Amino acid sequence: MSGRAMRVAILGASGQVGREFLRVLEQRDFPISELTLMASHRTAGSTMDFRGKPHKIVEPSEKAFADVDIVLASAGGAVSKQWAPVAVQQGCVFIDNSSMFRMDPEVPLVVPEVNGEVLKNHKGLIANPNCSTAQLVVVLKAIHDLAGLKRVIVSTYQSVSGAGKEGMDELHVQTRAILNDQEHKPKKFQKQIAFNLIPHIDSFADDGYTKEELKVINETRKILGLPDLPVTCTAVRVPVVIGHSEAVTVDLERKVSPAQVREALANWKIVEVWDQPEQNVYPTPLDCAGEDPVYVGRVRRDTSSDNGINFWVVADNLRIGAALNAVRIAEYLLKHDLIAQKVAT
């Protein structure tokens, strides 16, 4: 990575992913000469610590982006829609964690270890994929390179942190209430989340899929560069705090053994294979929380298909699914000299 220090802004700094941005930037020693924290008026004026020093939160404005090279944004689609064009016009690289620009053909949708090469043609705006998509495509890319993908079936088991702090708070409040025989009406989720599963994330489309499921389907195709790949998804919210899990079935162009799949995954970037079920070795959300890799286990032949493989994928959705992937995009841009650093005025 280039040694040049960047002027970095975090848009949505006080949110769950914004705080994770700060942790990841510090842990990875990202070269920062100046840090600007932006959030809404509700938290503007307060401070957050980074590398042992307090930083005051400011509201986003045209002036606030003037002396910034890279923006890491996780403040929702409406905020990104408002401020991304402003930041890009001023010469910033805007890495957006919302869904606003993901399917725009002019905007690269990137997991660097899978399709980082598309960043060479970026125009200042770069999209970070859905949290479930990010961990999935890393594994699918390795398997596609091994034997060719024909079809993908995925069921996601998504933690409440995917719904932000309100989702995490609701799980905690409901759990305490139920254990103490108190009232526990749902607020953030459609139904009770404590001690329950909800097969409903985001709103329903006319075809019966939820928008979350369609994100996984369409984003997977775009990132892998396989626009006609048959993909289907069922997305489920589960009473887990951090860590998304996925049960995946793939049909392949060529027949391969589970051992070949394990070897391909073990040699792939940022993937760890935990697959000794006879010794209870397989990944769970508790194993992945706070960790960087995408974990894979339960690799086995799909006995209902000649060329099918089943496997289980787990990752920290706040990291690989959001903050870590965005920072890795910034690192890729620096390493390949794809950021035109602005001169402060």
pLDDT digits (tens, 9 = 90+) for 144-167: 999 999 999 999 999 999 999 999
Q: What residues act catalytically?
A: 131, 244
Fold classification of 133-317 is: Dihydrodipicolinate Reductase; domain 2 (3.30.360)
Q: Which of 153, 150, 116, 132 is nearest to 201 (CA)?
A: 132
Name 242's Cβ contacts closer than 8 Å, sequence gap at least 6: 159, 161, 285, 288, 289, 290, 316, 317, 318
Q: Are 37 and 10 in contact (CB under 8 A)?
A: yes
The predicted structure's pLDDT at residue 42? 87
pLDDT at 342 over 70: no
Domain boundaries, the chain: 6-128+322-335, 133-317
Q: What percent of the chain stands above pLDDT 90?
A: 93
The predicted structure's pLDDT at residue 341? 60
Q: Are 328 and 112 in contact (CB under 8 A)?
A: yes
pLDDT at 28 over 90: yes
What type of residue is 35?
Answer: L
The predicted structure's pLDDT at residue 4? 84
C-alpha distances (whole Å) from 91 to each of 118, 230, 241 are 19, 38, 38
Question: What's the mean pLDDT when you consider all of the chain?
Answer: 95
* pTM, 2 dp: 0.94
Q: For residue 241, give both structure tokens.
A: 């705090």
Q: Give the mean pLDDT of 33-54.
A: 93
Instruction: Return d(Cα 124, Cα 111) in angstroms, integer.
Output: 16
Enumerate the H helices of 225-271 as residue ranges: 258-266
Per-residue confidence at 43, pLDDT binned at 50, 70, 90?
Answer: confident
Name 295's Cβ contacts closer than 8 Å, sequence gap at least 6: 271, 272, 273, 274, 283, 287, 288, 313, 314, 315
Name 218's Cβ contacts closer than 8 Å, sequence gap at least 6: 103
The residue with greater pLDDT, 40 or 72, is 72
pLDDT digits 0-9 by tens, 100-139 = 999 999 999 999 999 999 999 999 999 999 999 999 999 9
Q: Which CATH class is domain 6-128+322-335?
A: alpha beta
